[in-house]
């Protein structure tokens, strides 16, 4: 039955699959918003139903349509007029774009489904870490449990390279964190980042770990620069706590889609200097 279904998907045009992926991404993004908000407020994702956090108004179906509802309501609660943060809209659009990109790159395959799952984990971890500087074990270690078999049996990576990637990635980040703590007396890399690197290392393998470090580092520098511009002052930036998890997740996601091509370009760039 499953093989018949997958064989039917072979005839789905790549463009149609990408559109489907984008629409699916909107609804997944809406759900991930709920997951991150409920985790931070220590609530169940099942109960109570979606509601306004200010007045308790229970959202109706038409108020739950991704993007459309936010635009029609002008970013406000229908009942009390409380502001609905633009971050909710951005998360839905970001997930839409991410899932569409995965659909385009992987097409209608089993690998596409599992990379969707991994992408969703990356996004929810980024949302939580950006707001709380916390990477929960249920997502980092849970993601690692998913990443290991997916990398070997779905993505077709060599099992030894997969294990080496996870162990090496986590070990290097743990060592950097320990050395930074001893030298500066403050935590530079949290243990959540170490566990996240276990998951990422499993997915991208040891071969592409350097690319993760390069891209995440560059993205973090850019993020720090933007934060400095928004503050319009360098005062306090030295002690500002910035989550590194979202940058690692972004680098890992990009690597899952275009890692080998980007690594070849990087090597060519280095050799041309």
Say whether both 49 and 98 belong to one domain: yes
pTM above 0.75, yes or no: yes
Say whether both 257 and 269 belong to one domain: yes
How confident is the prediction along the chain (273 residues), in pLDDT tens digits per residue? 555 555 667 677 888 999 999 999 999 998 998 899 888 888 777 777 676 666 666 777 766 677 777 677 776 766 676 677 778 888 899 999 999 999 999 999 989 999 999 999 999 999 999 888 889 999 999 999 999 999 999 999 999 999 999 999 999 988 988 887 777 766 667 788 999 999 999 999 999 999 999 999 999 889 888 877 776 554 555 556 778 899 999 999 999 999 999 999 888 888 887
What is the predicted pLDDT for the residue at 188?
61
Say whether both 78 and 125 belong to one domain: no
Of 64, 79, 108, at which residue does a domain stop?
A: 108
Say whether both 241 and 114 belong to one domain: yes
Of 58, 91, 108, at which residue does a domain stop?
A: 108
What is the predicted pLDDT for the residue at 199?
97
Say whether both 116 and 236 belong to one domain: yes
Say whether both 76 and 125 belong to one domain: no
Spatial distance between the Cα atoms of 184 and 201, rounded to a whole number of angstroms: 27
Say whether both 132 and 101 belong to one domain: no
Report helix, strand or coil for 240: coil
Domain count, the chain: 2
Say whether both 44 and 114 belong to one domain: no
Q: Quick check: 236 and 80 in contact, CB under 8 A?
A: no
Spatial distance between the Cα atoms of 200 and 211, rounded to a whole number of angstroms: 12
What is the predicted pLDDT for the residue at 69?
78
Print the domain residue range for 151.
Answer: 110-273
Q: Quick check: 125 and 196 in contact, CB under 8 A?
A: yes
Say whether both 80 and 205 belong to one domain: no
Burial degree of 71 (CB within 10 A; 0-12, 13-18, 19+): exposed
Say whether both 59 and 170 belong to one domain: no
Q: Quick check: 58 and 49 in contact, CB under 8 A?
A: yes
Of 108, 130, 156, at which residue does a domain stop?
A: 108
**Residue whose entry in the numeric block shows the structure tokens 């360098």:** 234
Chain centre distance of CA 125: 6
Say whether both 155 and 237 belong to one domain: yes
Say whether both 93 and 133 belong to one domain: no
What is the predicted pLDDT for the residue at 248?
96
265 to each of 211, 230, 258, 262, how far by Cα in Å? 11, 33, 11, 5
Instruction: Give 153-195 as a 3 state SS string.
Output: HHCCCCHHHHHHHHHHHHHHHHHHHHHHHHHHCCCCCCHHHHH
């Amino acid at each position: 039955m499953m093989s018949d279904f997958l064989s039917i998907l072979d005839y789905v045009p790549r463009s149609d699959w990408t559109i489907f992926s984008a629409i699916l991404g909107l609804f997944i993004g809406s759900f991930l918003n709920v997951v991150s908000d409920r985790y931070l407020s220590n609530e169940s994702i099942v109960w109570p139903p979606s509601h306004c956090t200010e007045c308790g108004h229970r959202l109706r179906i038409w108020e739950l349509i991704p993007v459309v509802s936010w635009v029609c309501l002008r970013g406000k609660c229908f009942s009390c007029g409380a502001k609905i943060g633009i971050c909710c809209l951005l998360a839905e659009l970001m997930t839409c774009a991410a899932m569409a990109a995965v659909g385009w790159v992987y097409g209608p395959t089993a690998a596409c489904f599992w990379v969707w799952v991994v992408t969703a984990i990356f996004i929810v971890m980024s949302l939580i870490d950006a707001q709380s500087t916390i990477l929960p074990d249920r997502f980092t270690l849970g993601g690692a449990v998913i990443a290991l078999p997916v990398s070997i049996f779905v993505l077709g990576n060599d099992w030894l390279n997969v294990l080496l990637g996870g162990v090496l990635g986590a070990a290097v980040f743990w060592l950097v964190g320990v050395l930074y703590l001893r030298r500066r007396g403050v935590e530079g890399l949290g243990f959540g980042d170490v566990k996240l690197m276990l998951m990422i290392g499993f997915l991208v393998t040891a071969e592409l770990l350097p690319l993760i470090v390069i891209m995440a580092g560059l993205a973090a520098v850019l993020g720090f620069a933007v934060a400095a511009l928004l503050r319009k002052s360098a005062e306090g930036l030295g002690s500002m706590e910035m989550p590194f998890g979202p940058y690692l997740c972004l680098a890992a996601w990009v690597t899952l889609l275009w890692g080998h091509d980007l690594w070849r370009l990087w090597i060519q760039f280095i050799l041309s200097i």
